Structure 1
Amino acid sequence: MSSLVVSDTLSPPNTHTPSAVGRARSRATSLASLRAIVALMLREMSTRYGRSPGGYVWAFVEPVGALLVMSFVFSLLIRSPSLGNSFLLFYTTGYLPFLLYSLTLTSVMHALNFSRPLLLYPAVNWIDAILARFILNTLTSVAITSIVLVGILEFTDTTAVLAVGHMVSSLALAALLGLGHGTLNCALCGLFPVYVQFWSIASRPLLIAAGVFFLYEDLPANLQNVLDWTPWIHVTAMFRQGVYPTYAPDFISLPLLMAWALVPLMFGLLLLRRHRQRILMQ
């Protein structure tokens, strides 16, 4: 009996409690996921921008060229823009937040197909592929927006009083919308390949619905009632509010924007979690 007591007394305390082990495993998993995301981002940077002459230069040239064409064409048709006196600045403030949304959505939508060979390795998770493309394209789009907007204000006669808070909020919501819609589209494209063609057709009017070419306040009441329930024109109006100090849209709804972003994101994640193996095997 005494030997048992001595043995219990001399045994070392158990320092590896279940909670400590759980925290260590969670930390190791987080670090592995972070390394995978960074590796996927570097791979995409070298694949998308490293193989073409000019690389990242084309990411800035394309939106600038589109804006110049739009400004020239509409300046021939319309005497003055709805806000200010610069067609280039007016269309820039509508096009750039929509471009961030569109690029983020398209990138996330094809995340699993792009990283399909790497997803066969246990160290790379399907959500790592989505986050890598989301982060990289969001950062790229924000850089494009900043450089293009600053360049227009610097090299033209246009002046503006910028409210950075409204602009940052608009870009953040545009990125969140792109993530939500892109994640749901990623699942639907994997489950139903014909959905790719359907989305290509259905998404074409979105540039108009976003209010790139007009103001919400200039539309008839019946069209306003329809666009009230769409998220894109809210994002565009919020960005323009940050560039034009006299513009104060009162129709912007943050709850509506969050619902449009988070509900598709939730359903997309649920579908991908349940059917990811089926999608990757196609």
Structure 2
Amino acid sequence: MLREMSTLYGRTPGGYVWAVAQPVGALVVLTVAFTILLRSPPLGNSFILFYASGYLPFTVYATVALTVQNAIQFSKQLLYYPAVSWLDAIIARFLLNLLTSITVMVIVLFGILHLTEASATLSPGPIVLSVLLAALVGLGIGTLNCLLTGLFSAWANVWSIITRPMILIAGVLFIYEHLPEWFQGYLWYTPWIHITGLSRSGVYATYDPTYISLTVVALWALVPLFFGLLLLRRFHKDILNR
């Protein structure tokens, strides 16, 4: 964890400031763009709070998934020491980036509520649950991708292309209820729309997303995690020797 902290944030001017600046910059761009296009956000009266309530949990998933995916490659030199295992590398990256993402989320939400005209009575339960579920899905998918990327180097590029429009279907820019019914049927089977809806229910007291299924999210997290860990135990030495 210390090695990753020094590598990712210790070698650039500003260090951890960029961890906060990146989501803030993305939210500002979204807010400016959609303020021009729309008269009011789908929920509440603040564009930046609406997009933050969906974007921040999504970044938890995206950050954890990407860093766990590259865990073995990132720590490859350390893994030649018997005292360090491939599982250590995955756990360390998962914990560090989860804690970083949570810290960034708290700072950004606090800043929005105190530095802008946005107002909300936050309910911590749904927000915390959405963050933990987002991290768990990121861990599961990241672990499976860690295996696939290690065995097939082209998989990282393929996955990047496949998931490029992910933010468009994750419910960051809209709410589930405003979509056509046929499209709702497809999105219901993806975990991100449930995570986003759960997060927004903790930000907006009047929003009650009845479509949320924790079972769907759990399956997306635990199934790839199970197969990823099982196969990494079998093939991690092959990955290290490539």
Q: TM-score, normalised by structure 1?
A: 0.85
Per-residue CA distance 1:236-270 (angstroms, 9 max, x = gap): 00000000000000000011111110000001001
Per-residue CA distance 1:159-216 (angstroms, 9 max, x = gap): 1011100000000000000000000000000111110110010011111111100000
Q: Which residue of 2 aligns with 1:76?
A: 36
- Rg: which structure is higher? 1
Matched, 1:228 2:188: yes
Matched, 1:96 2:35: no
Matched, 1:115 2:56: no
Q: Which residue of 2 aligns with 1:202?
A: 162
Q: Which residue of 2 aligns with 1:135?
A: 95
Q: Which residue of 2 aligns with 1:178?
A: 138
Deviation at 1:271, TM superposition (A): 1.2
Deviation at 1:60, TM superposition (A): 0.4
Q: Which residue of 2 aligns with 1:153?
A: 113
Q: Distance in 2 between matches of 1:121 and 1:251?
A: 48
Matched, 1:54 2:14: yes
Q: Distance in 2 between matches of 1:156 and 1:197?
A: 39
The secondary structure found in structure 2 opposite 1:116 is coil
Which consecutive residues of structure 2, in runs of 5 or more, have no partner in the other structure? none
* Mapping 1:239-258, distance limit 5 Å: 239-258=199-218
Q: Which of structure 1's runs of 4+ aligned residues deviate more than 6 A? A: none
Per-residue CA distance 1:2-25 (angstroms, 9 max, x = gap): xxxxxxxxxxxxxxxxxxxxxxxx
Q: Distance in 2 between matches of 1:206 and 1:220?
A: 18
Per-residue CA distance 1:36-57 (angstroms, 9 max, x = gap): xxxxx00111111110000000
Deviation at 1:98, TM superposition (A): 0.2
Identity over the aligned pairs, expressed in percent? Answer: 57
Q: Which residue of 1 aligns with 2:27?
A: 67
Partner letter of residue 124 of structure 1?
Answer: V
Q: Distance in 1 between matches of 2:237 and 2:4?
A: 23
Paired positions, count:
242
Q: Distance in 1 between matches of 2:6 and 2:217?
A: 34
Give me the CA root mean square deviation: 0.5
Matched, 1:169 2:129: yes
Q: Distance in 1 between matches of 2:165 and 2:21?
A: 23
- Looking at both structures, which has the greater relative contact order when contacts are Cα pairs under 8 Å and sequence separation is at least 6? 2
Which consecutive residues of structure 1, in runs of 5 or more, have no partner in the other structure? 1-40
The secondary structure found in structure 1 opposite 2:223 is helix
Q: Distance in 1 between matches of 2:11 and 2:157?
A: 27
Deviation at 1:113, TM superposition (A): 0.3
Q: Distance in 2 between matches of 1:254 and 1:212?
A: 19
